[in-house]
Amino acid sequence: MAFSTILRRSFSKAAPLATKFIGFHKNPQSSAAASTAVSALNRATISPRFAGRRFCSSSAAVVDGVSSDKKLIEVVQSEIEVAEQSEDPEKTVPAPADFPFTMEDNPGEQTVTLSREYDGETITVEVSMPNLVTGEEDEGGDEGDDEEPRTDSSVPLLVTVVKKDGNAPYLEFDCTAFPDEIRINGLSLKNPETEDHLAYEGPDFYDLDENLRKAFHKYLEIRGVKPSTTNFLHEYMIDKDSKEYIRWLKDVKTFVEA
Protein backbone atom coordinates (compact mmCIF):
# COMPACT_ATOMS: atom_id res chain seq x y z
CA MET A 1 0.00 0.00 0.00
CA ALA A 2 1.39 3.39 -0.91
CA PHE A 3 2.38 5.47 2.07
CA SER A 4 0.32 8.47 0.94
CA THR A 5 -2.82 6.29 0.93
CA ILE A 6 -2.00 5.01 4.42
CA LEU A 7 -1.44 8.55 5.65
CA ARG A 8 -4.75 9.86 4.30
CA ARG A 9 -6.67 6.92 5.74
CA SER A 10 -4.96 7.19 9.12
CA PHE A 11 -5.46 10.95 9.44
CA SER A 12 -9.16 10.68 8.62
CA LYS A 13 -9.46 9.25 12.13
CA ALA A 14 -6.32 10.46 13.87
CA ALA A 15 -6.14 14.10 12.75
CA PRO A 16 -8.97 15.51 14.93
CA LEU A 17 -7.31 14.04 18.02
CA ALA A 18 -3.80 14.84 16.88
CA THR A 19 -4.61 18.49 16.22
CA LYS A 20 -6.15 18.97 19.63
CA PHE A 21 -4.05 16.77 21.86
CA ILE A 22 -0.67 15.97 20.26
CA GLY A 23 1.10 18.63 22.25
CA PHE A 24 -0.65 17.62 25.48
CA HIS A 25 0.03 13.97 26.05
CA LYS A 26 3.56 13.97 24.59
CA ASN A 27 4.87 17.23 25.91
CA PRO A 28 7.40 16.80 28.74
CA GLN A 29 5.64 19.72 30.42
CA SER A 30 2.26 17.97 30.38
CA SER A 31 2.28 17.70 34.18
CA ALA A 32 2.52 21.47 34.44
CA ALA A 33 -0.22 21.85 31.84
CA ALA A 34 -2.46 19.47 33.75
CA SER A 35 -1.81 21.37 36.98
CA THR A 36 -2.73 24.63 35.25
CA ALA A 37 -5.91 23.06 33.90
CA VAL A 38 -6.94 21.85 37.37
CA SER A 39 -6.23 25.30 38.80
CA ALA A 40 -8.46 26.82 36.14
CA LEU A 41 -11.22 24.39 37.02
CA ASN A 42 -10.82 25.27 40.69
CA ARG A 43 -11.28 28.97 39.91
CA ALA A 44 -14.28 28.24 37.70
CA THR A 45 -16.16 26.31 40.39
CA ILE A 46 -15.70 28.69 43.35
CA SER A 47 -19.01 29.71 44.84
CA PRO A 48 -19.93 33.38 44.08
CA ARG A 49 -20.16 34.20 47.76
CA PHE A 50 -16.46 33.40 48.14
CA ALA A 51 -15.41 35.15 44.95
CA GLY A 52 -14.49 38.41 46.70
CA ARG A 53 -12.37 36.74 49.39
CA ARG A 54 -8.66 36.16 49.15
CA PHE A 55 -8.93 33.10 51.40
CA CYS A 56 -11.76 30.72 52.14
CA SER A 57 -12.44 28.36 55.01
CA SER A 58 -11.02 24.83 54.97
CA SER A 59 -14.52 23.35 54.60
CA ALA A 60 -15.20 25.53 51.56
CA ALA A 61 -11.88 24.44 50.07
CA VAL A 62 -12.85 20.80 50.50
CA VAL A 63 -16.21 21.38 48.83
CA ASP A 64 -14.51 23.25 46.01
CA GLY A 65 -11.94 20.45 45.62
CA VAL A 66 -14.65 17.80 45.38
CA SER A 67 -16.50 19.86 42.79
CA SER A 68 -13.30 20.39 40.84
CA ASP A 69 -12.47 16.67 40.88
CA LYS A 70 -15.98 15.81 39.73
CA LYS A 71 -15.75 18.30 36.89
CA LEU A 72 -12.35 16.95 35.86
CA ILE A 73 -13.70 13.38 35.83
CA GLU A 74 -16.62 14.49 33.66
CA VAL A 75 -14.31 16.21 31.18
CA VAL A 76 -11.93 13.25 31.03
CA GLN A 77 -14.84 10.83 30.52
CA SER A 78 -16.15 13.01 27.72
CA GLU A 79 -12.74 12.97 26.06
CA ILE A 80 -12.57 9.17 26.42
CA GLU A 81 -15.89 8.86 24.61
CA VAL A 82 -14.75 11.18 21.80
CA ALA A 83 -11.48 9.26 21.43
CA GLU A 84 -13.23 5.88 21.41
CA GLN A 85 -15.64 7.06 18.72
CA SER A 86 -12.64 7.72 16.49
CA GLU A 87 -11.09 4.34 17.32
CA ASP A 88 -12.03 1.13 15.53
CA PRO A 89 -11.69 -1.64 18.16
CA GLU A 90 -11.64 -4.30 15.43
CA LYS A 91 -8.91 -2.60 13.43
CA THR A 92 -5.66 -4.46 12.85
CA VAL A 93 -2.67 -3.21 10.90
CA PRO A 94 -1.32 -6.13 8.86
CA ALA A 95 2.41 -6.37 8.28
CA PRO A 96 3.65 -6.56 4.68
CA ALA A 97 4.46 -9.96 3.24
CA ASP A 98 8.20 -9.24 3.28
CA PHE A 99 8.27 -7.97 6.87
CA PRO A 100 11.38 -9.68 8.33
CA PHE A 101 11.18 -8.65 11.98
CA THR A 102 9.71 -10.01 15.18
CA MET A 103 7.75 -7.25 16.90
CA GLU A 104 7.47 -6.60 20.65
CA ASP A 105 4.74 -4.15 21.62
CA ASN A 106 4.01 -3.78 25.33
CA PRO A 107 0.80 -1.89 26.22
CA GLY A 108 1.57 1.31 28.10
CA GLU A 109 4.98 1.81 26.50
CA GLN A 110 5.67 4.49 23.93
CA THR A 111 8.06 2.44 21.82
CA VAL A 112 7.89 -0.77 19.82
CA THR A 113 10.93 -3.01 19.38
CA LEU A 114 11.73 -4.98 16.24
CA SER A 115 14.43 -7.63 16.09
CA ARG A 116 15.84 -10.15 13.64
CA GLU A 117 18.92 -12.22 12.94
CA TYR A 118 20.80 -11.60 9.70
CA ASP A 119 24.05 -13.20 8.53
CA GLY A 120 25.58 -13.49 12.00
CA GLU A 121 24.17 -10.16 13.20
CA THR A 122 21.36 -9.11 15.50
CA ILE A 123 19.36 -6.21 14.08
CA THR A 124 17.25 -4.22 16.55
CA VAL A 125 14.96 -1.32 15.68
CA GLU A 126 13.41 0.85 18.38
CA VAL A 127 10.37 2.61 16.92
CA SER A 128 9.03 5.70 18.67
CA MET A 129 5.64 7.40 18.46
CA PRO A 130 5.03 9.20 15.14
CA ASN A 131 5.56 12.91 14.76
CA LEU A 132 2.19 13.80 13.29
CA VAL A 133 1.81 16.78 10.99
CA THR A 134 -1.69 18.13 10.47
CA GLY A 135 -1.08 20.65 7.71
CA GLU A 136 1.06 23.24 9.45
CA GLU A 137 4.72 23.42 8.58
CA ASP A 138 7.08 21.76 11.03
CA GLU A 139 9.33 24.64 11.96
CA GLY A 140 12.04 22.36 13.28
CA GLY A 141 12.35 20.14 10.22
CA ASP A 142 15.29 17.87 9.50
CA GLU A 143 18.38 19.71 8.50
CA GLY A 144 21.22 18.56 6.33
CA ASP A 145 23.54 20.08 3.80
CA ASP A 146 21.83 18.26 0.93
CA GLU A 147 18.38 17.76 2.43
CA GLU A 148 15.28 19.90 2.22
CA PRO A 149 13.15 20.37 5.36
CA ARG A 150 10.14 18.02 5.43
CA THR A 151 6.64 19.02 6.44
CA ASP A 152 4.99 15.57 6.45
CA SER A 153 4.62 13.07 9.26
CA SER A 154 7.49 10.85 10.29
CA VAL A 155 8.51 8.00 12.58
CA PRO A 156 11.78 8.10 14.60
CA LEU A 157 13.87 4.93 14.46
CA LEU A 158 16.97 3.83 16.34
CA VAL A 159 18.63 0.95 14.49
CA THR A 160 21.34 -1.15 16.13
CA VAL A 161 23.50 -3.71 14.31
CA VAL A 162 25.36 -6.06 16.66
CA LYS A 163 27.81 -8.80 15.69
CA LYS A 164 27.48 -12.13 17.51
CA ASP A 165 31.04 -12.24 18.80
CA GLY A 166 30.40 -10.91 22.29
CA ASN A 167 31.25 -7.39 23.36
CA ALA A 168 32.51 -6.15 20.02
CA PRO A 169 31.69 -2.61 18.85
CA TYR A 170 28.31 -2.16 17.17
CA LEU A 171 26.74 0.32 14.77
CA GLU A 172 23.88 2.58 15.81
CA PHE A 173 21.81 4.54 13.28
CA ASP A 174 19.56 7.45 14.18
CA CYS A 175 16.92 7.50 11.43
CA THR A 176 13.68 9.23 10.50
CA ALA A 177 11.15 7.48 8.28
CA PHE A 178 9.10 9.73 5.97
CA PRO A 179 6.59 8.64 3.31
CA ASP A 180 8.50 6.17 1.12
CA GLU A 181 11.81 7.56 2.34
CA ILE A 182 14.22 6.81 5.19
CA ARG A 183 16.71 9.41 6.29
CA ILE A 184 19.82 8.66 8.30
CA ASN A 185 20.37 11.57 10.65
CA GLY A 186 23.54 10.14 12.10
CA LEU A 187 25.46 6.98 12.84
CA SER A 188 28.04 6.03 15.42
CA LEU A 189 30.25 3.10 16.29
CA LYS A 190 29.65 2.18 19.93
CA ASN A 191 31.92 0.14 22.18
CA PRO A 192 30.11 -1.60 25.06
CA GLU A 193 33.38 -2.18 26.90
CA THR A 194 34.00 1.52 27.42
CA GLU A 195 31.92 4.31 28.87
CA ASP A 196 33.97 7.14 27.45
CA HIS A 197 31.38 9.67 26.33
CA LEU A 198 34.13 11.73 24.72
CA ALA A 199 35.09 8.98 22.29
CA TYR A 200 35.10 9.98 18.64
CA GLU A 201 32.04 8.43 17.01
CA GLY A 202 32.52 9.63 13.45
CA PRO A 203 31.72 12.74 11.40
CA ASP A 204 28.33 14.29 10.78
CA PHE A 205 26.49 11.97 8.41
CA TYR A 206 25.86 14.71 5.87
CA ASP A 207 29.56 15.49 5.75
CA LEU A 208 30.20 12.05 4.29
CA ASP A 209 30.70 11.51 0.60
CA GLU A 210 27.42 11.00 -1.27
CA ASN A 211 28.39 7.52 -2.44
CA LEU A 212 29.21 6.55 1.15
CA ARG A 213 25.84 7.83 2.35
CA LYS A 214 24.09 5.80 -0.34
CA ALA A 215 26.08 2.72 0.67
CA PHE A 216 24.90 3.07 4.29
CA HIS A 217 21.29 3.34 3.10
CA LYS A 218 21.75 0.16 1.12
CA TYR A 219 23.34 -1.46 4.19
CA LEU A 220 20.13 -0.82 6.17
CA GLU A 221 17.83 -1.80 3.33
CA ILE A 222 19.44 -5.22 3.05
CA ARG A 223 18.86 -5.71 6.78
CA GLY A 224 15.15 -4.95 6.47
CA VAL A 225 15.00 -1.22 7.20
CA LYS A 226 13.28 -0.17 3.99
CA PRO A 227 10.19 1.82 2.93
CA SER A 228 7.81 -1.17 2.92
CA THR A 229 8.77 -1.76 6.56
CA THR A 230 8.61 1.84 7.72
CA ASN A 231 5.34 2.60 5.89
CA PHE A 232 3.74 -0.24 7.83
CA LEU A 233 5.31 1.05 11.05
CA HIS A 234 3.89 4.52 10.44
CA GLU A 235 0.32 3.23 10.25
CA TYR A 236 0.92 0.84 13.14
CA MET A 237 2.30 3.57 15.41
CA ILE A 238 -0.54 5.98 14.61
CA ASP A 239 -2.94 3.26 15.72
CA LYS A 240 -0.84 2.57 18.83
CA ASP A 241 -0.69 6.27 19.65
CA SER A 242 -4.49 6.45 19.64
CA LYS A 243 -4.84 3.35 21.84
CA GLU A 244 -2.20 4.56 24.30
CA TYR A 245 -3.94 7.93 24.59
CA ILE A 246 -7.25 6.27 25.49
CA ARG A 247 -5.46 4.02 28.00
CA TRP A 248 -3.77 7.07 29.54
CA LEU A 249 -7.06 8.94 29.87
CA LYS A 250 -8.65 5.97 31.64
CA ASP A 251 -5.69 5.68 34.01
CA VAL A 252 -5.94 9.39 34.86
CA LYS A 253 -9.68 9.06 35.49
CA THR A 254 -9.10 6.04 37.77
CA PHE A 255 -6.50 7.98 39.73
CA VAL A 256 -8.73 11.02 40.24
CA GLU A 257 -11.70 8.84 41.24
CA ALA A 258 -9.69 6.89 43.86
Residue 91: pLDDT above 70? yes
The per-residue pLDDT of the chain, averaged, comes to: 75
Of 21-35, 92-106, 168-182, 185-199, the one with minimum mean pLDDT is: 21-35
Nearest to 141 by CA among 180, 183, 203: 183
CA distance 177 to 66: 46
Distance CA(65)–CA(70), nearest Å, equals 9
Local structure of 125: helix, strand or coil? strand
Q: What average pLDDT score do residues 110-121 get?
A: 95
Please give the single-letter amino acid code of residue 239. Answer: D
pLDDT at 55 over 80: no
Is the pLDDT at 54 greater than 50, yes or no? no
Distances (CA, A) of 109 to 234, 241, 252: 16, 10, 16
What distance in Å separates the CA atoms of residue 48 and residue 62, rounded to the nearest whole number? Answer: 16
The CA radius of gyration of the chain, in Å to the nearest whole number, is 23
Percent of the chain surpassing pLDDT 70: 64
Contact 230, 155 (CB under 8 A): yes
Give the pLDDT confidence of 36-47 residue by residue, as tens digits: 433 433 433 333
> Which sign does the torsion angle of CA 52, 54, 60, 62 carry?
positive
Q: What is the pLDDT of residue 195?
A: 61
User: Going edge to edge, which strands form the sheet with 181-190?
Assistant: 102-104, 111-118, 121-128, 155-163, 170-178, 181-190
Give CA separation, 71 vs 81, 246, 250, in Å.
15, 19, 15
Question: Where is average pLDDT lowest: 93-97, 136-140, 201-205?
Answer: 136-140
- Residue ranges of alpha helices (H) inside 99-180 are none
89 φ/ψ angles, rounded to the nearest 5 degrees: -65, -20
For residue 62, with 0-12 CB atoms within 10 Å meaning exposed, 13-18 middle and 19 or more buried, which class applies? exposed
- pLDDT tens sequence across 234-256: 999 999 999 999 999 999 999 99
* Alpha helices in the chain, H assignment, sequence order: 3-26, 30-44, 58-85, 210-222, 227-257
Average confidence (pLDDT) over 48-52? 36
Least confident stretch, 50-54, 86-90, 133-137: 50-54
Confidence of residue 213 (pLDDT cuts 50, 70, 90): very high
93 pLDDT more than 50 = yes
pLDDT band at 150 (very low <50, low <70, confident <90, very high): low
Distance CA 134, CA 111 (A): 22
For a pLDDT cut of 90, what percent of the chain falls above it?
47
Can you give the pLDDT at residue 203? 86
